[in-house]
Amino acid sequence: MQNQKNVKNNLLIILKGFIIGSSMSVPGVSGGTMAILLGIYDNLISAISNFLKDIKGNLIFLIKFSIGAGVGIGSLAFLIKWLLDKFPFFISFFFLGAVIGGIPALYQKTKESSLRISSVLYFLLGLVIVISIGFIPTGNIDVSIGSGVAHYLMLLVTGVVIALALVLPGISTSHMLIVLGMYDSMLLAITKFDVIYIGILGFSTLIGVFLVTKPLEWTMKRFPHQTYCIIIGFVVGSTSEIFRDKILPAVPVNAGFGWWIPSGLISLVIFALGYKAILVLSKFSND
């Protein structure tokens, strides 16, 4: 019986890693957001920030998660990207449903019985921060070009920035890569198996994750109410990028009732599927 429970827990960790890894290619959807919605965020933060306290246990947990995330990034991420390119209007509503479906669980983490003005202010702070990041121009910075020591030092700095996007919920990793001019070069490096490029970026990202998680864990434990109100703002704000970059551009200029009625109905169904999917997965969040 215990073995069956262990197998189930291991499979859930790998599955959640798979979902998080595959979703990271979607602009507006962050790995941190999905980790919170799937109930594995606190465990990840704790395993990283307290790594030296239980090296074996934390390492095994992170390896299981990384296996799932790696498979997700290497397989389903490209399928999701293809679906978003082909059917951006409909597929985006699935992710909107998934994000909205996780908000009630996030609100429970604020440990608040009634809504307060301070909660709204913290929520608005998170909302404004993420929406502002979404409007950072994507053509002014490009650290993917160049060579030599200076170039690789910039890759190290970029890795730390990516780590922030990975750890902080609501910050889209793919969008930050686009802002830094790294998105296309990163995909190219993966397809060409550029070990040096990926290795430096991966190493610097790992350093950044370890630097960020400790203060973040302290903040979440010391100020859970304020932190999760801001996180809810992050998560809600992250949907703006999906609307701006995927949904609105997919609407035909001359769209009439003949397009809006069937498209609207299909979108509602897909939105409900995404919402339901997160609710089902959240049942296993404490396993």
Residue 265 has what pLDDT? 93
User: What is the average per-residue pLDDT within 259-276?
Assistant: 90
State pLDDT tens for residues 162-211.
777 777 776 666 666 766 666 667 667 766 777 777 777 778 878 888 88
* 150-162 average pLDDT score: 71
**287 pLDDT more than 60:** no
What average pLDDT does the structure give for the chain?
77
Least confident of 8-22, 123-137, 146-160: 146-160
**What pLDDT, on the 0 to 100 scale, is given for residue 26?**
63
> Per-residue pLDDT for 71 more than 70?
yes
Task: Give the model's pLDDT for residue 272.
Answer: 93
Residue 268 pLDDT class (50, 70, 90 cuts)? very high
More confident residue, 246 or 252: 252
Give the confidence band of 28 by pLDDT, cuts at 50, 70, 90.
low
Q: Quick one: pLDDT band at residue 271, thresholds 50, 70, 90? A: very high
pLDDT surpasses 50 at 240 = yes
pTM: 0.71
- pLDDT of residue 20 exceeding 90: no
120 alpha-carbon distance from chain centroid: 23
**% of the chain with per-residue pLDDT over 70:** 77
Q: At 149, is the pLDDT very low, low, confident or very high (cuts 50, 70, 90)? A: low
| Averaged pLDDT for residues 57-75 | 86
Instruction: Average the pLDDT over 14-37 and give the result.
Output: 75
Give pLDDT tens digits for 72-130: 877 776 777 778 778 888 888 888 887 787 777 777 777 766 667 888 898 999 888 87
